[in-house]
Each structure stands twice: as C-alpha cells, then as structure tokens.
Amino acid sequence: MLREETNKAYMEKIEENLLETIAGDDVRTGAYNIRKNGKGVERQITENVKIETKKDGTGIDIYVKENTKFEIVHIPVIITQSGLKDVVYNDFYIGKNANVVIVAGCGIHNDEHNDSQHDGIHRFFLEEGAKVRYYEKHYGEGKGDGKRILNPVTEVELKEGSSLEMESVQIKGVDSTIRETRGKVYKDGNLVVTEKILTAGTQLAKTVFDVDLEEEGASVKVTSRSVATENSKQQFESKIVGNTKCFGHVECDAIIKDNAKVTAIPEIIANNVDANLIHEAAIGKIAGEQLIKLMTLGLSEKEAEEKIIEGFLK
C-alpha cells in the first residue's frame, strides 16, 4: 500500500510539473480544460467561455461570446502513459469583436520503451473584428527510450478585420514533430505566426505553412527561428498565395551546429498584380566574433554558445 501511495504521489508531481512547464502556474484560472492520457480530467467554464465535449468524444468545442474582453482559456494536454497514441480535435468559435488569450500545448513524460504520441488538430473560426493570441508549447522528458512524438495541426479562418497571433515553442525532448499550419485570411484580416524550435540528438522537426490571402487587405507574417544541434534534422516549408491586394512576409532564420541538417523550402504565389509577397531565409553557424566577444567576458566556449542560442530563441 505504501509503495502504491508513493508511486501515485510521484506521478502526480510529474503531471503538475508538466502542466506548469507547458501552461504556467495559473492553468486553473478562468476557463480551462485539462486532458490527460487521452481523456478530459478537469474543466471549468465562465459566463463568456463555454467548453463542450464533442458528441463523438474526439475532442472539445470552445465557444467565446461576442464582445468578450481579455479572458484567458487554458487547454493543455499531458501524457504520462507510454505507448499511448492520442488524437484530439478541438474547434474554437470566437465571437464578433471578442479579444481573448488561448494557452495550449502538450507535455509528454515517457520512462519506458514504447512510443508516446499526441496529434492535436485545432481549428479556429474568428468572426468579424475578433482578436486571439494563441500560445502553444511542446515539451518532452523521461528516461525511457520510447519516442515522444507531437504532430500539431492548426487550421485558421479569419473573417473581416479579425486577427490571430500564434506563438509556437518546442522547448526540448521532442523526438519527432510535424507541425502544420493552414489558413484562409479574408478582408483586412491579419495572421501572425512565430515559431521557435530547438532540436538535438537524432530528433526530427518539420514545419509546414500554407496560407491563402483571399481578400483585399489580408496579411500574414511568419517568423521561424530554430537551432539544430548534434545529428538532428529540421525542414521548413512555406507556401503563401496572394489572390488579391495583400501582404505576406515569411522569414526563416536557423542556427546549425555539429552534424545537424536544416532545409528551407519557400513558395510564394502571386495571383494578383497588387499581391506583395516576400520570403527570406538564412541558415548558418554561430558567428565566430560573437563567441569571441562573450569568451573575453570570462565564459567558456560552451557557455558562450548557450548564451547566444538562448538569446536567439528568446
């Protein structure tokens, strides 16, 4: 009995640490839905934010009332069960002129030999004038050799004058990830996406952006910053289609170390003479003068590299 209680306390501590790592220590404030090992385990709603389980049980629907201002919604996922493949479909319906923050993300703890995987498919439907700031953090840990696999998919539909700012961060410990973001942006809508990725060992990270700018005044800005070390591999693919007078800017900036490999594949398609589309990509090692400058302040080469990488991904 004592051993069971000790194991239970150990797992509870792991779960709370995972939650705090991906969602912060205020995860249980406001509206929230916590998913653990493939099941919803905790939920709270507010007057303006409703969370409902899909009828087929595959995920949740989140409804934000129009004119809702400055509420925070947490929807974290944690996995501590080795060998679990979890797939969830979450749909967000954001009312007219609402302004909310949504904090998502997934943390996997795997101490065993079987692979653990989470595929989260999130769809955002923003009504006119709605504004969303969306944070998604991914993290893996554990002593086992079972892989920690995360494959997030984000689909966005932005109606007139609405905006979505999305920040996606992959901290460490994720063995394989394919991150897909697809969107359609309509009149005066604005999509801003920022991703930060760190890979090591033999980890693989692939990012795919595919955005259509459908109506006049639509815009998108994508910024990818990544560091690939040891024998890891990263691939960045982007496709921006401008169908009218619009603006699109994609920037891919990567630091490469050791035997790592990084590939950037840009595609911009202008179907209108007034479509203004830009793509920039830069891949390279840490500049020698940066290392020397920090080493003259008393840091070792390794410490200097860590400081540069920390600042790059900040």
119 and 56, same domain (yes or no): yes
Helix, strand, coil percentages (3-state) for the chain, rounded to 5, are: 15, 55, 30
Let me know if residue 265 belongs to a domain: yes
186 and 144, same domain (yes or no): no
Domain containing 67 equals 1-152
| Mean local confidence (pLDDT), 233-237 | 97
- In the chain, the largest separation of any two C-alpha atoms, in whole Å, equals 73
Let me know if residue 166 belongs to a domain: no
Kindly report, residue by residue over 97-121, the tens digit of the pLDDT: 999 999 999 999 999 999 999 999 9
pLDDT more than 90, % of the chain: 83
Residue 132 binned pLDDT confidence (cut-offs 50, 70, 90): very high
pLDDT more than 70, % of the chain: 98
pLDDT of residue 298: 79
* Cα–Cα distance measured from residue 289 to residue 264, given in angstroms and rounded to the nearest whole number: 25
Instruction: Of 275, 12, 22, 65, give the one whose Cα is nearest residue 173.
Output: 22
Is the predicted pLDDT of residue 195 greater than 90, yes or no? yes
pLDDT of residue 5: 57
By the 8 A CB rule, do 99 and 127 touch? no
Residue 82 binned pLDDT confidence (cut-offs 50, 70, 90): very high
Let me know if residue 267 belongs to a domain: yes
* Cα–Cα distance measured from residue 177 to residue 43, given in angstroms and rounded to the nearest whole number: 27
* Cα–Cα distance measured from residue 241 to residue 270, given in angstroms and rounded to the nearest whole number: 6
For 80, other C-beta atoms within 10 Å of its C-beta total: 19
What angle separates helix 301-312 from helix 288-295, to the nearest 10 degrees? 120
The whole-chain average pLDDT of the chain stands at 93
Higher pLDDT, 24 or 186: 186
53 and 184, same domain (yes or no): no
Let me know if residue 195 belongs to a domain: yes
* Cα–Cα distance measured from residue 135 to residue 245, given in angstroms and rounded to the nearest whole number: 29
Is the predicted pLDDT of residue 47 greater than 90, yes or no? yes
273 and 132, same domain (yes or no): no
pLDDT of residue 148: 97
Please name the residue that has the structure tokens 């690939």.
Answer: 228
16 and 73, same domain (yes or no): yes
pLDDT of residue 60: 98
143 and 192, same domain (yes or no): no
107 and 181, same domain (yes or no): no
* Cα–Cα distance measured from residue 214 to residue 252, given in angstroms and rounded to the nearest whole number: 23
pLDDT of residue 228: 94
